[in-house]
Amino acid sequence: MISACVRRVVLLSVLALGAAGCGWVPPRASDGTLALPPSAVVDAAHAARILALDPERVTDADVKNILRRGPTPRIMLLHGGIYPVHLSMTSFGNFLVGMGYPEDKIRQPRSGDWSHSPYEDAERLAGIAAWYYERDGMTPMLIGHSQGGMQAVKVLHVFAGAYAADVRVWDPLTDFALDRTTIRDPATGRQRPVVGLALDYVSVIGAGGAAFLLPNQWTLLDKLHTIPDTVNDFTGYTIAVDFWAWTLPGAELRFKAVGDRARVRNVPLPGTINHVLAPVTAEFAADPAARAWIEAYSPRTPPGPMPASAGANLLWAADVWWSIKKHWALEAQQSLRAGPAAVRSAGARTVE
């Protein structure tokens, strides 16, 4: 059963890579060193269009004609821990690009990888997220699958100071920690510590269960389902029958906020979703029926039965994409409202 799942992951991911992003080359500056693409300049007219968006009703046209031309936060994908399940998250990265998200805001700038390993140190991931925030003026979105979902929650606890009083900023271009534990906050222009930073959106699917048997996850035994005030919106997706995450109907563990800031959603998913294949979604972006269903989706008013051609993964893909569009708009609007001085202090986008 598992070997068949792995074969399907490999097949679908290879097909997705063939359709999008095979020729990826990490961006470089004129001197040949790695560098992120230059920041966009947003004029007053386009800034007004971004500010006029309703974050909960972002259309496909809004993505293509408005959001893609403005401030765009980084997405940090975190894949599961059993090889080659990372290809499932590669498929999801291609889905996001197919739906209109800029590829260079998902792939890691040094390696070109679509996702981070759950075996990367959580303090390193937090330091990278802080580096992106300092540069872009927008906090990254974290989306984790399986053990990668556990690591995403661990990053939130790192920001909450549960593992260390100070966390060093980490440069993803050189892959080295910097000799500082503070960043210049683009919202205020003042120095602030990495610890205490709050992300805007984080979601996880299939987190927990068998991965607790691994020593690197033991520290999460009492933390996984408690979400600290280092995220504004958190969504936990639970598959009804998931032997990897140890969830069964009536016995599912719910995520809960432990402070006053975090808004936590618990979203149950059908037991027909396979834990290993849950993020395999690339084909939905090119399927007219699936794409139309995704575009019509809202958590408050689902658009009726899913197309017969799509699997149960479609529900997760639609819900996550709805949240990404929402927080893309919110972060872009917040960045623009911060004003030119604050944005320039972070080396990010300017508004004329």
Q: Find the range with the poorest average confidence among 57-61, 116-120, 210-214, 273-277.
A: 210-214
pLDDT above 70 for 3? no
Q: What is the per-residue pLDDT for 333? A: 95
pLDDT above 60 for 222? yes
**How far is Cα of residue 200 from the mean position of the Cα atoms in its chain?**
10
For residues 114 and 90, give the distance between their C-alpha atoms in angstroms, rounded to a whole number. Answer: 6
Q: Find the range with the poorest average confidence among 22-26, 176-180, 231-235, 324-328.
A: 22-26
Strands 170-171 and 176-177: antiparallel
Q: Are 144 and 88 in contact (CB under 8 A)?
A: no
Does the bond joining 37 to the residue before it have cis omega, within 30 degrees of 0? Answer: no
For residues 336 and 347, give the distance between their C-alpha atoms in angstroms, rounded to a whole number. Answer: 14
pLDDT above 60 for 343? no
Burial level of 271, CB count in 10 A (0-12/13-18/19+)? Answer: middle
Q: What is the per-residue pLDDT for 85? A: 83
